[in-house]
């Protein structure tokens, strides 16, 4: 079945640093989406990408839909303590497939 490889699994950074995480797959997807899950809450949609090569920003967050349609990355610039949480990628085609998440810890 379709699988996503999300990396890194976890990150420990200092406040103010930039963060980069990515998802790759052997399968082609029609859409890539990124979610954030705060501790004890459900995931919340951050960015949705619908076109290969698309680069989209949402505040300090930037995500790209890879040209091959098999990957996507998410960057967070100038991290702050409230960026803490788990970030999930999701690929969409006939099915919706989630990555296993990147757990981000930000030290003040």
Partner 1 sequence: DVKVTQSSRYLVKRTGEKVFLECVQDMDHENMFWYRQDPGLGLRLIYFSYDVKMKEKGDIPEGYSVSREKKERFSLILESASTNQTSMYLCASTSGLDAYEQYFGPGTRLTVT
Q: Site for partner 1 (CB under 8 A): how many residues? A: 19
Q: Where are the beta strands (DSSP E) in the chain?
A: 5-7, 10-14, 19-24, 31-37, 44-49, 55-58, 61-65, 71-76, 85-92, 96-98, 102-107
User: Are the C-beta atoms of residues 25 and 70 closer than 8 Å to each other?
Assistant: yes
Give the residue, chosen from 73, 85, 99, 104, that forms a contact with partner 1 under the rule CB under 8 A: 99
Cis peptide before 8 (omega within 30 of 0): yes
Give the residue, chosen from 28, 44, 67, 78, that forms a contact with partner 1 under the rule CB under 8 A: 44
Give the residue, chosen from 42, 59, 82, 94, that forms a contact with partner 1 under the rule CB under 8 A: 42
Footprint (CB under 8 A) of partner 1, residues 73-92 = 88, 90, 92
Q: Which residues bind partner 1 (CB under 8 A)?
A: 1, 31, 33, 35, 40-45, 48, 88, 90, 92, 96, 98-101
């Amino acid at each position: 079945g379709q699988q996503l490889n999300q990396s890194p699994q976890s990150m420990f950074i200092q406040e103010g640093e930039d963060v980069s995480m990515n998802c790759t797959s052997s399968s082609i997807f029609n859409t890539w989406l990124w979610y954030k899950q705060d501790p004890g809450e459900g995931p919340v949609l951050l960015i949705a990408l619908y076109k290969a090569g698309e680069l989209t920003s949402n505040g300090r967050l930037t995500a790209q839909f890879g040209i091959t349609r098999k990957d996507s990355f998410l960057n967070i610039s100038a991290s702050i303590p409230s960026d803490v949480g788990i970030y999930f990628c999701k690929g969409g085609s006939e099915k919706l497939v989630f990555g296993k998440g990147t757990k981000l810890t930000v030290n003040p």
